[in-house]
Chain A
Amino acid sequence: MAIVEQQRDSRIDLSGDVRRRRRESIVKALFFAAAAISILISVAIVLALIGKAWAFLTSIELNQLWGNGWFPRRGRFDLSALLVHTMMITGIAMLVAVPFGLGSAIYLSEYAKSGVRRVLKPTLEILAGIPSVVLGFFALQFLTPNVVRGIFPGAQSANFLAAGIAVGILTIPLVASVSEDAMRAVPGSLREASYGLGAKQWHTALRVVFPAAISGILAAVILGISRAVGETMVVALAAGLNGIMTFNPTEGGLTMTGAIANLAVGSDQVAGDVAAFQSLFFVGLVLFVLTLGLNVISGRMVRRYRQRY
């Protein structure tokens, strides 16, 4: 029918049936709406956090945010304690995740034969799929009595070391997979040139490929940091409720995520427009901004190495 219509029309109209075109634009509009929802979600997150966070900030003295311990019920909102504790967990986690994650990545990328790879790589993927509550329980029941108390017999039952190690274990697969991607993106010609100049395999891997992939590897580490900062269930179970700032890894304390979880499951007086409840949103906002910043930096680094190769 379309051909008959075209023969009648002197201009050749290639755009076709009106119904098809209309269906096409409807479909396109629907799909655009779906994509735009992602923007709406971001806006919603910011709105959800900002309103009550602002209400919280305006209801307290700003100097309350520094020093004196995090005891929302007593009106003591020491954000610095939460930040320090978060950094401690993240630091310990990175001490575990970077060596094991990077080492695994270098091995898988430069050394492993495809058979070995096919067997061992899924292990990392399985580790990535383990829910964080499981790691929290592992930290509480295995790491603290056997590992932490093995080295430091006087450690408390809730301590940063166990929680930090567990968060590190969680982060190993992420660091490994992103670094491995970065190293595999390095073209084979670089390696071949290195061999041609007489370098051994280990020298090539560590002194040629690794530096070539450095921005991707840094991106992996930063992503790992972001993941460790945002981890909640492990610290809720294994890091304790201590609100006073401590630098001792054999003690425990509230991190930012731990404080939010605590406020939510009712460990501090919540519900309603009390400052304690609103502080939940404030800490959430700080957490959101921090992880967003880390992710943006990491994204820039990934783009840099993707561009180069």
Chain B
Amino acid sequence: MTVDTAAVTTTELVRRSIEGRRFSPANAIVGFALLFTLLSSVLILVTLLADTIAAALPVFASRGLGFVTSSLSPTAASAGIWQGIMGSLALTAFVIAVAFPLGVAAAVYLEEYASDNRVTRFINANIRNLAGVPSIVYGILGLFLFVEILMRGVFGAEGGIGGRNVIAGGLTLAVLVLPIMIITTSEALRAVPGALREASLAVGATRWETIRHQVLPVAIPAILTGTVLTIARAFGESAPLLLAGAQLSLFFSVSADASFVDLVTNQPYTALPIIVFNFARQPQAEFVSLTAAAIVVLLVMLLTVNAVAVLARDRYERRYR
């Protein structure tokens, strides 16, 4: 964003030429203290991972990948997280399907079409505020709007799970990540040089043609990076789903001959972070290692997504700066 490596280098040159190579103890102490804070953060991360992996090892040693492919069960020895993985992936697909087009469209409007007037500034401020709203408040919104009003009121879902379906959960998460999606896409669009737009308009293209053929192709890598990071965020969220209706139970099953439509509207679902939360609350001692194992799977999936995004971002930064 505000990376200005040229200035740092100049400043560094200035500093070295003035200070010379003399060793300053005060500088070393302060520098070390600051480095210590940074390294401590690394240390905390390492401790967290090490402790969790250590607690999770017995499960993987005794059950291997069976843990990942089994379904929930009240008996610790056979409980698995497959339904959580499937549920989380389904929710993520939903979030992409809803938040990606809406987010990109909104950002395109705000960056490319809207003039800098009160309305635009108000919309931008509103989006920034929405990005800071606690996730559980989005859960309340999801409960009120998507479960009660949409699913039960409009679509008349009664009985069974009564509206607490994947669509309601997916919409809740989509609304949660939409502001972030808009903000990251706006930044990606802002990074496209203005000269590109001006040249396109000068040869007679309309705004939309400019955006579609000139601006978006250049901005797409950064937009995709932002999307991937947004997905990672949605994948790890659990507080909104607690309210919006993910199954918080030791066992549930879906009907084996349910159609796709039936599956997303009438069948119970859960998500991997919700399973982690539920396992963590269980009193039996065996569930401690199960929780750790579920966390390891969750972290592996998230780290993969994050690594892809960071690598893509590095490549993009080097190419398009």
Given B41, B105, B143, B295, which contacts A100 in the complex, CB threshold below 8 Å? B41
Which B227-242 residues have C-beta < 8 A from chain A? 232-233, 235-239, 242
**Complexed CA–CA distance, A165 and B143 (Å):** 30
Residue among A24, A31, A120 having the largest count of chain B Cβ atoms under 10 Å: A31
Contact B306 A20 (CB under 8 A): no
**Closest approach, in angstroms, between the C-beta of A146 and any C-beta of chain B?**
9
Interchain CB contact (< 8 A) of B106 among A38, A99, A134: A38
Q: Is B253 an interface residue (CB 8 A)?
A: no
B254 interfacial contact with A, CB 8 Å: no
Q: A27-B208, A184-B3 are in contact. List 9 more A-B contacts (CB 8 A).
A: A37-B106, A39-B126, A100-B37, A100-B40, A131-B273, A200-B24, A232-B136, A292-B129, A298-B132
Asked whether any CB of chain B lies closer than 8 Å to the CB of A229, the reply is yes
- Kindly identify, within residues 3 to 55 of chain B, every residue whose CB is under 8 Å from any CB belonging to chain A: 3-5, 7-8, 10-11, 14-15, 18-19, 24, 26-27, 29-31, 33-42, 44-45, 47-48, 51-52, 55
- Taking CB atoms, residues of chain B closer than 8 Å to A48 are 140-141, 143-145
Q: Which of A100, A137, A230 has the most CB of B within 10 A?
A: A137
Q: Which residues of B contact A134 (CB under 8 A)?
A: 48, 52, 276, 295, 298-299
Partner of B110, one of A35, A120, A196, A231: A35
Chain A residues, Cβ within 8 Å of B277:
133, 136, 233, 236-237
Given contacts A106-B34, A141-B55, contact A129 B306 (CB under 8 A): yes
A91 to chain B, nearest CB (A): 18
Given A39-B126, A126-B303, verify A141-B41 contact (CB < 8 Å): no
Chain A proximity of B56: nearest CB distance (Å): 11
A30-B105, A48-B140, A200-B26 as given contacts; A291 in contact with B132, CB under 8 Å: yes
Q: Does B259 contact A (CB under 8 A)?
A: no
**Is there a chain B Cβ closer than 8 Å to A246's Cβ?**
no
Residues of B contacting A: mostly: helix
- Cβ contact of B123, chosen from A35, A47, A198, cutoff 8 A: A35
| Across-interface contacts of A107 in B (CB, < 8 A) | 31, 34-35, 37-38
**Shortest beta-carbon distance, A71 to chain B, in Å?**
21
Chain A residues with a Cβ under 8 A of chain B: 16, 20-21, 23-24, 27-28, 30-32, 34-39, 41-42, 44-45, 47-49, 99-100, 102-104, 106-108, 111, 114, 120, 122-127, 129-138, 140-142, 169, 172, 176, 181, 184-185, 187-188, 191-192, 195-196, 198, 200-202, 204-206, 223, 226-227, 229-233, 236-237, 257, 260-261, 264-265, 280-281, 284, 287-288, 291-292, 294-296, 298-299
Question: What are 16 A-to-B residue pairs whose CB atoms are below 8 Å?
Answer: A20-B206, A28-B207, A34-B103, A35-B109, A38-B179, A125-B306, A126-B303, A172-B41, A188-B10, A192-B10, A201-B31, A226-B132, A265-B248, A295-B128, A299-B125, A299-B129
